[in-house]
Amino acid sequence: MVIEPVAHLYNDYVEKFGIPRQSLRVPARAKIVFVEKYRVPEALREIEHFSHLWLLFDFSQAHRGDFSPTVRPPRLGGNRRVGVFASRSPFRPNSIGLSAVRLLAVEKDARLGHCLIVEGADLLNGTPIYDIKPYLAGDSIPQAVCGYADEFTDYALSVDFPPRLLELLPPQMRAPLVALLREDPRPSYQEDNTRVYRFRYGNFEIGFSVEGDLLHVLSVDAAD
């Protein structure tokens, strides 16, 4: 099978650091733009009647030639290995990701044709999308047992975001950024509370440190 993108997703996650680790955790918006060949309104007929969609996508910045049968999920502190097929790691034999997102609108753009406006994606800006399918109620399994992931269902940091810094961001970026920081964007658990982390979020660079369960936002700067 030859596989090619049907669309690309665009959002404020302009670097890998600072992207949520799973979808639907952070209410940030994204726009899905179809490639010209699939920019066909009929292909979207009745999609607006679905509240959520599945995206199958390319972990485009995680392509690697070698195969590692185990990975170290960051949530496990970065030192416990699990099988790649028991993980949602971007580093897998075929770099295919699977995310559920909320469909907010189908929007007609004069230049780009019909686009999908979605919320809750855990994808990097520009990620190629291979397929889009409606999420069905039967896809949900409330009694599912989720292995090591069950240990982190309620994990969240408290966020100290000084109002004078928060106000530097456009209003629509504020709640998604706070939700993202609550998710603990550090690469793995690190106890060094003097370390300052920085990441790009849209046109801004955010600086923060973490002390125990409390994340302090230290800076919000315009990125170059």
Task: Give me the amino acid identity at 144.
Answer: A
Q: What is the DSSP letter of 78?
A: T
- Comparing CB distances to ligand SAM, the nearer of 15 and 165 is 15
- Comparing CB distances to ligand SAM, the nearer of 42 and 66 is 66
From the list 5, 14, 26, 99, which residue makes contact with ligand SAM (rule: CB under 6 A)? 99
Does 12 interact with ligand SAM (rule: CB under 6 A)? no
Does 174 interact with ligand SAM (rule: CB under 6 A)? no
From the list 122, 129, 199, 217, which residue makes contact with ligand SAM (rule: CB under 6 A)? 122
Tokens of 13: 């996650």
Residue range at the interface with ligand SAM (CB under 6 A); choices 20-28, 129-137, 192-200, 214-222: 20-28
198 contacts 221 by C-beta, under 8 angstroms: no
CA angle 216, 220, 224 (to 5 degrees): 145
Tokens of 41: 């309104």
Does 5 interact with ligand SAM (rule: CB under 6 A)? no
For ligand SAM, the binding residues in 179-208 under the rule CB under 6 A are none
Spatial distance between the Cα atoms of 90 and 79, rounded to a whole number of angstroms: 17
Closest-CA residue to 113 (of 40, 46, 47): 40
For 135, the 3-state DSSP assignment is coil
Does 3 interact with ligand SAM (rule: CB under 6 A)? no
From the list 15, 44, 60, 135, which residue makes contact with ligand SAM (rule: CB under 6 A)? 60
Residue range at the interface with ligand SAM (CB under 6 A); choices 31-39, 45-53, 57-65, 156-164: 57-65
Does 62 interact with ligand SAM (rule: CB under 6 A)? yes
Give the list of residues 6+ apart from residue 63 with CB closer than 8 angstroms, or none.
95
From the list 127, 169, 177, 220, which residue makes contact with ligand SAM (rule: CB under 6 A)? 127
**CA dihedral sign of residues 102, 136, 60, 113:** negative
Give the footprint of ligand SAM on this chain (CB under 6 A): 16, 19-23, 59-62, 88, 90, 97-99, 122-124, 127
